[in-house]
Structure 1
Amino acid sequence: MNKSIFWVMLVGVVGLLSACSSGLEDTSQRYIENENKVIQYGKANNLTLTKEANSGTYYAVTTPNTSGRSPKETELVKVFYTYRKLDGTLLDSTTSVPLGFPYYTYNTILNIPVALLKEGEKGVFIFPETSQYTEPTILSIELISTRNETEQIGEFVQSKFAGLNVNSTSTGLQYVITKSNSTGELVKTGQTVTVTYTGKLLFPTKKRDSNGFYVYNEQFDAGSFSFVLGQGSTVAGFEESVSKLKVGDKGNFVFPSSLGYSKTGSLDNSTGAYTIPPYSPLNFEIEVTAVK
């Protein structure tokens, strides 16, 4: 069983370690009562539930696809889901846009169903308790797809660069020049280069807008800045991309996470959410406006 199963901090695993004796008894009794609620829910809804031994999660695969592909660690998985309490109270859900995230790269309750589903399958997963809720919660989920980085980039290039002259380098960078200035000055290592850019993931991520509402958006950054080319002040993929341009040129570039933020990603410490998830290929639209 995938070790991500251990990541759900059920009270029976984590909470008991710090509880006092009477607290242990209270927590244990509550957990037993919650399990009984889960079992009764399954019976009432004609669900044949299986208990996953390590996490204590009860689940049923409601739409099987035995020939489907199983996700591998770090692959981008896309899911639709609804998360609620047993009484139907909605806690979280996707909209018409699936949620994409790199499987088993950080702690999320979604790792549990992904570990137990194949591509194209749907399932119901019931947690007697989690670190956030001391009552049962239920996750209805569909695993739409799973793609490694090579596949993600290949599908992106095929879709976004269709019919265009695509250039490739030995590092894995792929790009098209969308605006060319034949008289522009070549960009050279050691020069201070000024660029405008837009940075995007290859898939939309769930985030809150300025009004606090959830939206799905690929873009993680945009703006302009100056830097000395060749001094490592930006990620390697960005520097290599800029080196392919002249002043006045504009290009669309895509590169693997090995040239970007690799296994660490980029974390927004103020929100605790990833601006760029680990193992994410990146797409940049870049225009060089000046060099000196």
Structure 2
Amino acid sequence: MNKSIIWVFLLGIVGLISGCMSGGSDLEQLYQANENTVIQYGKDKGLTLIKDPNSGVYYYKTVTNATGRGAAQTELVKMFYTYTKLDGTMLDSTTKTIPFGLSYLTYSTILNTPIALMKEGESGVFIFPQTSQLTEPTILTVKFVSTRNETEQIDEFVKTKYAGLEVVKTSTGLQYVITKSTATGDLVKSGQTITVSYTGKLLYPTKKRDSNGFYIYNETFDSGSISFVLGQGSMVAGFEEAVSKLRLGDKGTFVFPSSLGYGQSGRTDSSTGAYTIPPYSPMNFEIEVTAVK
């Protein structure tokens, strides 16, 4: 995918501004003034800024790793970042200990731009003359921690989460461990109404707001109790397959790829539009069967 197209689509700065202008408009002049401000900022700080021809962003790397791995589309990228104005006013940041997880190039975010210019292990400073959110220059300071495809994410998770346990893997890619077993009765069957208690998690912490409006980081996206008829497709395929491995009273922990979950679309909060499950995200469920009819 062409980076200039991505940049125009996601942030609407260089290409969008020039494409919408038919001469020396106020907006075009504002962008040029912002670009001059960025160039002067670099001179004042003694920085050797590189201008990326595709995005129009100015940047320099503080740590390089030329042989490092670059991110591929849909991979989970983990990073630390701060986002500020030129005067240092803080706009957003990660914690110092928990990296931010991003499904690279699968939805609109300003963070796609530095990742396109970096490799694992690198750090850099990226100065945007203008974005669709702000008409003044802003700075992203980024440390690129890692990039992993879905198979790698699941393998690393299972190796850590299920260490020393007997892991079962099915032909669909579901992996699981039965953590509590009744050892009697039959497995639940298609057509039965199953009631389960569950907790749904991603394989990494995500940034969200708690009930008081404060930012927190955790893996959980949903929990509760639900009844459904097994086999009617009312739940995602991975969840239904997971439940089918249990008896009444059984409890297990299950991990499965996004192809058995929400795939390339992910799932959004209907009130905010924010992703509760990003695109291409494997999921982990803890499930207990509490009733069968």
Contact 2:8/2:15 (<8 A) preserved: no
Relative to structure 1, the CA distance from residue 236 to residue 275 in structure 2 (aligned partners, 3 Å threshold; closer, same or farther) is same
Contact 2:17/2:28 (<8 A) preserved: no
Contact 2:21/2:28 (<8 A) preserved: no
3-state SS of paired residue (1:152): helix
Instruction: Give the TM-score normalised by structure 1.
Output: 0.95
- Residue in 2 that maps onto 1:41: 41
3-state SS of paired residue (2:259): helix
Contact 1:198/1:285 (<8 A) preserved: yes
Q: Write the distance in 1 (CA, Å) between the matches of 2:201 and 2:140.
A: 29
Shift of 1:118: 0.2
Unaligned ranges ≥5, structure 2: none
Q: Write the distance in 1 (CA, Å) between the matches of 2:13 and 2:153.
A: 38
Instruction: Give the TM-score normalised by structure 2.
Output: 0.95
Q: Write the distance in 1 (CA, Å) between the matches of 2:10 and 2:48.
A: 22
Contact 2:267/2:276 (<8 A) preserved: yes
Relative to structure 1, the CA distance from residue 4 to residue 15 in structure 2 (aligned partners, 3 Å threshold; closer, same or farther) is closer
Shift of 1:49: 0.9
Q: Write the distance in 1 (CA, Å) between the matches of 2:20 and 2:212.
A: 39
Contact 1:7/1:108 (<8 A) preserved: no
Contact 2:236/2:261 (<8 A) preserved: yes
- Residue 77 of structure 2 is aligned to residue 69 of structure 1: no
3-state SS of paired residue (1:240): helix
- Residue in 1 that maps onto 2:247: 246
- Residue 175 of structure 2 is aligned to residue 197 of structure 1: no
3-state SS of paired residue (1:140): strand
Q: What pairs with 1:1-292 in structure 2 (closer than 5 Å)?
A: 2=3, 4-15=6-17, 25-95=25-95, 96-292=97-293
User: Residues 228-260 of structure 1: CA distance to partner in whole angstroms, max 9, x if unpaired?
Assistant: 111101000000000000000000000000000
Contact 1:84/1:139 (<8 A) preserved: yes
Contact 1:5/1:115 (<8 A) preserved: no
Q: Write the distance in 2 (CA, Å) between the matches of 1:35 and 1:154.
A: 45
Contact 1:6/1:54 (<8 A) preserved: no
Shift of 1:6: 3.5
- Of the structure 1 ranges 196-205 and 29-38, higher mean CA displacement relative to structure 2 is found in 29-38
Q: How many residues align?
A: 290
User: Residues 56-112 of structure 1: CA distance to partner in whole angstroms, max 9, x if unpaired?
Assistant: 111112210011000000000001000000011000000121100110000000000
Contact 1:4/1:115 (<8 A) preserved: no
3-state SS of paired residue (2:61): strand
Q: Write the distance in 2 (CA, Å) between the matches of 1:242 and 1:39.
A: 58
Relative to structure 1, the CA distance from residue 6 to residue 29 in structure 2 (aligned partners, 3 Å threshold; closer, same or farther) is closer
